[in-house]
């Protein structure tokens, strides 16, 4: 690999939202080879275990889907068909259902792994041409609480900081996240920064003592669901000690007095009891914030995946706002995106309540702007938000939704209370599955299977967690007749008779998306594939009037995107709305990632090296909880509640808080058994504002099996 051949072989890792650069090539046998991109600003050549083994996922095509397949009736097997036939029939079925039941009878469920160009065309197809807002993605399960939190506090869904702020910070508060395993290259950067500057302090709040805690100066091992209590208590301690920034509060925020009243409803000592931690530790956290010149809050699913996820986000962002730690180097909120392009999806409006370039679906002016741009009839874009991820499966179960098109995701592992999703798919009149692997559980339910190109087999862009847009070169041809997702969607749109989908290439799609961002806060109207190939990656907003690398941090002028141009310190009651534990189900189940697997394992599950770390699912539980149930290390246990059960081996560890148990989220069916699947047990509650599920808090009991 020639590391200077950037015009043809740079790409980006397709796992987490850190967005590491990769140099890729093919050898004489056509196999993809990779190494970290030494010149990429994010990772400087480093890759984590998942990224280092990414090439195996495309070199092994044994599980790939090579041809389109379809069946004419549920009792018939699917047959191999041509692209024309499959898309003509799919279009005919969609037209019939739309004519009979209206456009809201169909839905599309996509993914934070889709490239921005793919997101853009599918959003345009569904909202602009079919005329429903029933397009949602698995980002709903991941970042939607952060989206809502940013909009409510800063006026728009935007991460104000950049990774370079890590080296400029004195304090990083990691809330409900394990970046040492889930965002490893970013965490290595924190480790290096701390090594160079021992004055950099780390606070971690997490019911589990994870690998991330090994770097922490203070681990707040709080009870699940008590994050707001903790953040409010820290806020109170900061106010009590006059450690807030009165000038910033006065000049650049609103809502402080109400916030003050709310956080003073409970003493720090009372909060400590609720959180299950020492009062002195809360006060120490407040002292560390007070002493910091640069203060970054960093979080991910521990806050987002909650029935009170938006308020958890807001309560943490409030700590930046009351101390004035935003819009300056080394300070600000940094949500870590779980998926490689959750951010790009949000930029094109790829959720059921969004429009492109952070426009608001319920704003008539914004709808009119997009309608004019897409050259569609005024009023074509529906005013009401469409179905979210979990609502789609509810609607299938209730018969309101007739057809679903699922691409680039496996809801039969990732949705909460997943057996409900299985029942829903059985009730659907028509199921389209656009996939790379025939191992996906979704295939069983598919009336139509569309073979998709995988990472390295298509070109496009993604945006990482620091708003950095990068370009992915196509490295090799997709196997068989598999096509890039954007091409499949555009071909389908044309079969539906829609104009405006005959793009010559992905660059043309990007150009259209970029033009639609003009004069918005996400303005990339001067950006193109050509510029990205040259520069590798830039942070939005990016226009010719901004320096050639985009915008490192937002709000440096302290002008926020709210109507008042002030950041809003939000107040709300501190109440945990998760399901209650009970004598029958006295333990709290939380779920999450392990180091070497990613999501539903359709890619990482193929790589033998990645199984060496942890090869099978397990239940982590506290030795005291285990002893009460006569459970020993490696015993087979059954975790159960009213929704289902899981059977795995127990791993005993006092790294987890007593009363809490942990299951990895990755495993689905193994040898046709679904007993490894954590989401057999998770509950159906969602945050009322973000509609993000409550994956981190389900009541269960554990027994020796």
Nearer to ligand SF4, 18 or 538 (CB): 18
Other CB atoms closer than 10 Å to residue 402's CB: what's the count? 23
Span of 179-187, 346-354, 421-429, 452-460 interacting with ligand SF4 by CB under 6 A: 179-187
Residues 91-110 that bind ligand SF4 (CB under 6 A): none
Among 15, 129, 150, 662, binds ligand SF4 (CB under 6 A): 15
Interface pattern 47-86 for ligand SF4 (x via CB under 6 A): xx-xx-----------------------------------
Minimum Å gap between C-beta 26 and ligand SF4 is 20
Q: Is the CB of 306 or the CB of 602 nearer to ligand SF4?
A: 602
> What is the distance between the alpha carbons of residues 699 and 683, in angstroms, rounded to a whole number?
8
Query: DSSP 3-state assignment of 417?
Result: coil
Q: How many CB atoms lie within 10 A of CB 193?
A: 16
Q: Which is nearer to ligand SF4, 46 or 132 (CB)?
A: 46
Residues from 247 through 286 that contact ligand SF4 (CB under 6 A): none
User: Between vectors from CA 277 to CA 274 and to CA 278, what angle results, nearest 5°?
Assistant: 115
Q: Assess 292 for contact with ligand SF4 (CB under 6 A).
A: no
Rounded distance, CA 260 to CA 318, Å?
A: 11
Q: Which phi and psi angles does 686 have, rounded to 5°?
A: -130, 155
Report if residue 40 touches ligand SF4, rule: CB under 6 A. no
Q: Which residue is nearest to ligand SF4 (CB)?
A: 51
CB of 183 to ligand SF4, least distance (A): 6
Q: Which residue lies nearer to ligand SF4 by CB, 184 or 309?
A: 184
User: Stretches 8-16, 210-218, 264-272, 443-451: which one binds ligand SF4 (CB under 6 A)?
Assistant: 8-16
Q: Are strands 135-137 and 106-110 parallel, antiparallel or unpaired?
A: parallel
Using the 8-state DSSP alphabet, how is residue 686 labeled? B
184, 350, 470, 592: which one binds ligand SF4 (CB under 6 A): 184
* Residue 13 in the binding site for ligand SF4 (CB under 6 A): yes
* Residue with tokens 């109507």, as numbered in its chain: 563
Q: How far is the CB of 614 from ligand SF4 (least distance, A)?
A: 16
Choose the stretch contacting ligand SF4; rule: CB under 6 A; options: 14-22, 210-218, 343-351, 660-668.
Answer: 14-22
Task: Give strand pairing partners of 206.
Answer: none
172 vs 404, beta carbon nearer ligand SF4: 172
CA atoms within a 13 Å half-sphere pointing along the CA-CB vector of 202: 27
| Spatial distance between the Cα atoms of 702 and 484, rounded to a whole number of angstroms | 44
Number of residues near ligand SF4 (by CB under 6 A): 14
Of 322, 250, 160, 254, nearest to 565 by C-alpha is 254
Rank residues 288 and 296 by Cβ distance to ligand SF4 and give the closer one: 296
19 in contact with ligand SF4 (CB under 6 A): yes
Asked if 185 touches ligand SF4 (CB under 6 A), the answer is yes
Of 582, 581, 599, 578, the C-alpha closest to 684 is 578
What does the alpha-carbon distance between residue 459 and residue 508 come to, in Å, rounded to a whole number? 12
Q: What DSSP element (H or E) covers 301?
A: helix 301-304
Does the protein bind ligand SF4 through residue 18 (CB under 6 A)? yes
345: helix, strand or coil: helix
Q: What tokens does 642 get?
A: 């009213």
**Is there binding between residue 334 and ligand SF4 (CB under 6 A)?**
no
Residues that bind ligand SF4 (CB under 6 A): 13, 15-16, 18-20, 43, 47-48, 50-51, 183-185
């Amino acid at each position: 690999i020639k590391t200077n051949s950037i015009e043809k072989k740079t790409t980006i890792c397709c796992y987490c939202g850190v967005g590491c650069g990769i140099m890729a090539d093919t050898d004489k046998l056509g196999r993809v080879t990779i190494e970290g991109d030494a010149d990429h600003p994010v990772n400087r050549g480093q890759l984590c275990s998942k990224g280092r083994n990414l090439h195996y996922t495309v070199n092994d095509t044994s599980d790939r889907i090579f041809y389109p397949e379809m069946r004419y009736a549920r009792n018939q097997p699917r047959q191999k068909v041509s692209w024309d036939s499959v898309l003509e029939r799919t279009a005919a079925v969609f037209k019939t259902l739309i004519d009979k039941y209206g456009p809201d009878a169909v839905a599309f469920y996509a993914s934070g792994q889709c490239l921005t160009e793919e997101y853009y065309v599918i959003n345009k197809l569904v909202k602009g041409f079919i005329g429903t807002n029933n397009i949602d993605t698995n980002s709903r399960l991941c970042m939607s609480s952060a989206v809502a939190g940013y909009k409510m506090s800063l006026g728009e869904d935007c991460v104000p900081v950049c990774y370079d702020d890590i080296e400029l910070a004195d304090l990083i508060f990691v809330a409900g996240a394990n970046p040492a395993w889930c965002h490893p290259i970013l965490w290595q950067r924190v480790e290096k920064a701390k090594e160079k500057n021992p004055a950099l302090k780390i606070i971690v709040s997490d019911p589990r003592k994870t690998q991330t805690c090994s770097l922490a100066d203070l681990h707040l091992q709080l009870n699940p669901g008590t994050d707001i209590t903790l953040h409010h208590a820290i806020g109170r301690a900061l106010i009590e000690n006059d450690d807030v920034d009165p000038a910033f509060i006065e000049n650049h925020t609103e809502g402080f007095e109400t916030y003050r009243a709310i956080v003073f409803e409970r003493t720090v000592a009372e909060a400590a009891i609720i959180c299950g931690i020492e009062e002195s530790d809360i006060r120490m956290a407040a002292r560390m914030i007070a002493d910091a010149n640069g203060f970054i809050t960093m979080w991910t699913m521990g806050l987002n995946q909650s029935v009170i996820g938006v308020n958890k986000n807001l309560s943490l962002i409030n700590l930046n706002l009351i101390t004035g730690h935003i819009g300056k180097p080394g300070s600000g909120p940094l949500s870590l995106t779980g998926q490689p392009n959750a951010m790009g999806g949000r930029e094109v409006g790829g959720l059921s309540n969004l429009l492109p370039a952070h426009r608001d679906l319920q704003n008539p002016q914004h709808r009119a702007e997009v309608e004019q741009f897409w050259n569609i009839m005024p009023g074509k874009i529906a005013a009401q938000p469409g179905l979210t991820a979990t609502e789609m499966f509810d609607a299938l179960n209730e018969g309101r939704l007739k057809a679903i098109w699922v691409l680039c995701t496996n809801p039969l592992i990732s949705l909460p209370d997943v057996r409900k999703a299985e029942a829903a798919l059985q009730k659907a009149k028509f199921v389209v599955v656009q996939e790379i692997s025939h191992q996906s559980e979704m295939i069983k339910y598919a009336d139509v299977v569309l073979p998709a190109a995988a990472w390295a087999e298509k070109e496009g862009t993604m945006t990482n967690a620091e708003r950095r847009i990068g370009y992915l070169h196509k490295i090799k041809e997709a196997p068989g007749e598999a096509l890039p997702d954007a091409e499949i969607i555009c071909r389908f749109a044309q079969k539906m008779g829609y104009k405006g989908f005959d793009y010559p290439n992905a660059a043309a799609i990007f150009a259209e998306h970029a033009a639609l961002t003009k004069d918005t806060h996400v303005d990339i109207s001067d950006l193109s594939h050509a510029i990205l190939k040259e520069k590798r990656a830039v942070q939005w907003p990016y226009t010719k009037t901004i320096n050639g690398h985009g915008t490192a941090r937002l709000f440096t002028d302290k002008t926020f995107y709210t109507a008042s141009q002030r950041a809003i310190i939000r107040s709300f009651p501190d109440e945990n709305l998760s399901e209650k534990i009970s004598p029958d189900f006295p333990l709290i189940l939380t779920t999450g990632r392990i180091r070497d697997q990613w999501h539903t394992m359709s890619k990482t599950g193929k790589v033998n090296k990645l199984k060496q770390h942890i090869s099978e699912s397990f239940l982590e539980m506290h030795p005291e909880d285990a002893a009460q149930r006569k459970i020993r290390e490696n015993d087979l246990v059954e975790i159960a509640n009213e929704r289902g059960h899981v059977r795995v081996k127990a791993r005993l560890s006092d790294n987890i808080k007593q009363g809490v148990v942990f299951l990895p989220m990755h495993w689905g069916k193994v040898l046709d058994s679904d007993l490894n699947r954590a989401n057999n047990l998770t509950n159906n509650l969602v945050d009322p504002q973000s509609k993000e599920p409550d994956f981190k808090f389900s009541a269960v009991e554990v027994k020796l099996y």
